[in-house]
Chain A
Amino acid sequence: MLGWLTTTDHKRIGLLYFWTTLVLFAVGGIEALIMRTQLAQPNEHVVGPSTYDELFTMHGVTMIFFFIIPMTTGAFGNYLIPLMIGARDMAFPRLNALSYWVFLASGVFLYTSLALGAAPNAGWFDYVPLASRRFDPGHNIDFYCLGVIFNSISSTLTAGLFIVTMLKSRAPGMSLKRMPLFCYAMIAAAFGLLFALPSLSADAIFLFLDRNVGTHFFDVAHGGSALLWQHLFWFFGHPEVYILIVPAFGIATSIIPAFTQRKLVAFPLVAIAELLVVYIGFGVWAHHMFATGMPTITLVFFAAGTSMVVIPSTIQVFAWCMTFITGSARFETPLLFIAGFIFMFVTGGLTGIMFLAVPFDQQVTDTYFVIAHFHYIIFGAAVFPIFGGMYYWFPKVTGKLYFELPGQISFWTIFLGTNLLFFPMHILGLHGMTRREYTYPSGLGWGPYNLAETVGGFITAAGILLLLGNLVWSYLRGAPAGPDPWHGPTLEWTTSSPPPEYNYAVIPKVTSAYANWDVADREEDRRKLAEGVLVLEQGHEQVESAPVDGELAEVVEMPHDSPWPPLLALSLALVFTCLVIQKFTVAALVSTLCVLTLLGWHSTEPQER
């Protein structure tokens, strides 16, 4: 137990992330089901308007900040990046632990608000002046501001850590062009987070100051601007969409080669596309604001940006499809989820393209058409690969094989459920139903579509329960998997399942992006292990290599387990608690605790050799 608390092992931290985000996913899902129950028929009274507002706000905040980002980066990225690049651990293991504990603390912090009946209630994009003290006098929005800032500390740490790890800790020989596509996706997401989050944090800090100190950043009556909030928010918010789905692309590009036994078609183009989608994603934010009365030239500029961001996605879609066709696809559960993902992503992408037509965007903005679009993207394109990835790497993490038949049933249930849940939303939006209505009148023809969606929601939930049940049962009763049940392409399949604490006994030799398929290199690893060359098993060391060509640069000593990361996260939680109850002096005093923790942290630096 204490071992998990003080761990700095990337695999254990990845699993901690996994379990925590899974719990938050369940909570966000229950919030969604309550909303769907409320909307099943016109004029329902399952919940009142104030509860409903908290539900949809918490659902959005939870799924985006507390499920998908930490699941793809924190859980999948943490567990897999060092394995895929042949490293012993992340570049800064204690920072990695800190990132997790800060994430956990921020999640607990945010959900305290729900327990206190003061959960954020102005939507996940929290527009001012609705979120100002005048129109939202409780602590609800203070929890939002501080929760988002708290959470983004964790994401920023993860982003920096990922970038350094992937640029510096790759096994010697793994030049950038031999890096697996999964890592390209992760590095794109990490750069996205690093550049997008400051905008969100600044926004949240401004709002917190407006609400608590009397500044006027967003107060029109005193020369502030209500639209400033929207610009800063969406400058973060749109790249965020790509940050959500690019890691899922990474999962897809890991599963596809394994289950078609073919290297991905047009590898260099796909790698560039993964980076480009995030880069262009920074130039389209104002398409969330087409109805705010911006000048036509601004509308047209951002519409053009929106059309450009399509190209990297079409490149990837056709590269995936052509790999399916030219390889020999084996449609087992992980690949089914990826095929489903392609279907969902293309559907959501095609409705996304429609938003570059400014007048159409202005016609359906803030309606269920938009809800349909982004759930096809966020559930279909981000969560489907997460499910596929759970099945794909299950044997690696647990050492057991999952059961195939219930796996396939879980896929079809989730696939049918989500389409029944989200497709009618397109029609509802076109028929005029706006988002965030806690109820709707009869007589406008919206009832049957809503009922179908609610049924779809519960079918989806049943599918997810089946998936999780299957994995639990497989863990208890599954057959042993061995190190490489899929003949997978990347390095993680060369080590045992589950991998030992040190990952690789010898530093693996890498001469391509599909290291596990390079038979000669793997022979050489085995020979080195037998001869005792480049063996790192005994020590606590990691190889550092040159960022571009991956030449061996130095060997560094890694830190051991440390109690300081969870302690620092705890001190931060105390500071944020003081801030939310507006005890600013106490917060300043408590923040000295953070400094003391940092002093303790740095008193135990690993010794230079």
Chain B
Amino acid sequence: MPALAGCGGRTQSSLAPESHAAKDIASLFWWMMGGAWIGLGLVVALLLWSWQRRKRRGFGRDSGGVKPGERVGWLVVVGAGIVVPIVLLATLFVISDVFVIKTTEAPAANATRLTVHVVGHEWWWEVRYPGKGVVTANELHIPARTPVRLEVTTADVIHSFWVPQLNRTIDAIPGKTNAIELYAEAPGRYRGQCDEFCGLQHAHMAFSVDAEPPAVFRRWLAAQARPAAAPASAAAQSGERAFLDGACSTCHTIRGTSAHGYVGPDLTHLASRTTLAALAIPNTRRTLADWITDSQAVKPGNQMPDFRLTGKRLQALLAYLEGLR
């Protein structure tokens, strides 16, 4: 079995933000963490102080009713336990829940040039560009420095769409479409992952967001909108026949052919993608062959059956799929 490496970006850290929303959230965290260390330090200091004072009086002296230091005790409890927390909590509440909260919200549909529609499936992501005739899977492309409206829903169970470097998470819930902003300040590949437990292969339901310069993005979108390339070689032609006549086409769509299945990802431009199986493995001839013949070993429980194809038919199918640029 191929070792599963972290395809699609070297980090998934919310502390390496690449958008204004993620940056606001990260700096909110750093401030809160600073405050938390001070609070914890205060309590530890009190406990250590009591340890240092432990032999001040004989043990068991004041249990008869005397309560030494009760006034000071009340003052600290009321001051540090009620007044100060109320002030700090109110401040945090106003900053985070009145101001920062707005930065993560989705731009209105009519205020943005691009809306991307994402549908969660067990265990991959369907990506649609409404009005552009583009459907792909697991690898989102967006123009950099452009606020994109991202709409999320699900075809089956609850998933959650999360690219921590770009924005907070948003759930994909049956019967509901949620939206957030997707924005990247710099071109690059950002890794994301399903953030709500969704069954056996929740662990392998990752995706990537490729932020590209707007011109590059427009070229990509135009290429993706075209129907599938016709098979170029004799082997690829026989591979296409195997695909359309066999079980493949009942689950997968290849635009421009008779394959219209909706269970698995759209494969019209499979060869333009760099990964397979929701980023579980890279997209090479060998891993693609592994995936077709033994996907249950790569990603146990996934909905694609193993196809025990013989050498020649497999090579033909691979030749066809590799031509789907």
Contact = CB atoms under 8 A, between A and B. Distances in A.
Contact of B57 (A226, A291, A328): A328
A49 B301 contact: yes
B256 interface: no
A127 B158 contact: yes
A444 B10 contact: yes
A356 B96 contact: yes
A432 B11 contact: yes
Nearest to B103: A359
B92 A356 contact: yes
A53 interface: yes
Given A322-B72, A328-B61, A434-B162, A311 B3 contact: no
B200 A49 contact: yes
A526 interface: no
B176 interface: yes
B76 interface: yes
A238 B196 CA distance: 19
Contact of B47 (A53, A328, A343, A436): A343
Nearest to A226: B174
B131 interface: no
Nearest to A321: B46
Contacts of A366: 160, 169, 195-197
A265 B46 CA distance: 14
A437 B202 contact: yes
B286 to A, nearest CB: 18
B176 A363 contact: no
Contacts of B53: 325, 328-329
A331 interface: yes
Interface string B103-121: 1110000000000000000
A317 B62 CA distance: 22
Given A291-B160, A326-B70, A432-B14, A441 B7 contact: yes
Interface in B49-98: 49-51, 53-65, 67-70, 72-74, 76-78, 80-82, 85-86, 89-90, 92-93, 95-98
A227 B172 CA distance: 11
Interface string A489-509: 100000000000000000000
A261 B24 CA distance: 49
B278 to A, nearest CB: 12
Contacts of B90: 307
Nearest to B165: A432
B56 A431 contact: no
B97 A135 contact: no
Interface stretch (A18-26, A66-74, A347-355, A405-413): A347-355
Interface stretch (A158-166, A182-190, A297-305, A582-590): A297-305
Contacts of A314: 80-82, 85
A524 B39 CA distance: 47
B297 to A, nearest CB: 11
Contact of B300 (A48, A316, A444, A445): A48
B175 interface: yes
A519 B63 CA distance: 10
Contact of B36 (A262, A299, A354): A354
A444 B12 contact: yes
Nearest to A339: B47
Interface in A301-341: 303-304, 307, 310-311, 314-319, 321-331, 339
**9 nearest CB pairs, A to B:** A432-B12, A326-B69, A443-B6, A357-B96, A265-B73, A293-B178, A324-B50, A220-B175, A362-B168
10 contacts: A43-B4, A307-B92, A326-B68, A326-B69, A357-B92, A357-B96, A359-B100, A362-B104, A443-B6, A443-B10
Given A43-B4, A225-B175, A432-B12, 20 more contacts: A129-B156, A130-B157, A262-B67, A269-B77, A293-B178, A300-B98, A304-B97, A307-B93, A315-B81, A321-B76, A322-B76, A325-B46, A327-B50, A328-B60, A342-B47, A343-B47, A357-B28, A359-B21, A439-B203, A517-B64
